[in-house]
Amino acid sequence: MSHDPNCIFCKIVADQIPSKKVHEDEDLLVFHDIHPWAPVHILLIPKLHIASMADLQPEHAALMGKMTVLVPQLMKQLGVTNGFRTVVNTGSDGGQEVFHLHMHAMGGPRPWAKG
């Protein structure tokens, strides 16, 4: 599996940096964001180092499908019952800060949001 020794998410996959894991399988690691924007904020990352969504190839279709199908299952397990948001920032202009493909999933009550 491709790995970038300087990538913080690759280091999390390799257990060199601790994380609060939610799910792990042969392809994906899911953990809580250390700077959450919502009561529940998790990151889904492939164990394979792919720098961004712009670098996806046809052979990654099943991996991306797996990530997308997993989100509602995990959010339900984490108690999110009234909807959630998914975000994939791509590239510098797209707001990507860590250049290892990742999907944010955020949910839970937000009392500061407009009603």
* Span 63-73, pLDDT tens digits: 999 999 999 99
Mean of pLDDT values over 77-97: 96
What is the pTM assigned to this prediction? 0.93
Q: Which residues are catalytic?
A: 102
Q: Using one digit for the tens of pLDDT, what is the confidence trace for 42-80?
A: 999 999 999 999 999 999 999 999 999 999 999 999 999
Alpha carbon distance 40, 32 (integer Å): 8
Domain ranges of the chain: 8-107
What pLDDT does residue 111 have? 62
* Mean of all residue pLDDT scores within the chain: 94
pLDDT: which is higher, 72 or 110 = 72
What string of H, E and C letters represents the secondary structure of the chain? CCCCCCCHHHHHHCCCCCCCEEEECCCEEEEECCCCCCCEEEEEEECCCCCCHHHCCHHHHHHHHHHHHHHHHHHHHCCCCCCEEEECCCCHHHCCCCCCCCEEEEECCCCCCCC
Q: Using one digit for the tens of pLDDT, what is the confidence trace for 12-30?
A: 999 999 999 999 999 999 9
Structure tokens, 3: 């790995």
What pLDDT does residue 2 have? 76
pLDDT grade for 110, boundaries at 50, 70 and 90? confident
CATH level 3 topology of 8-107: HIT family, subunit A (3.30.428)
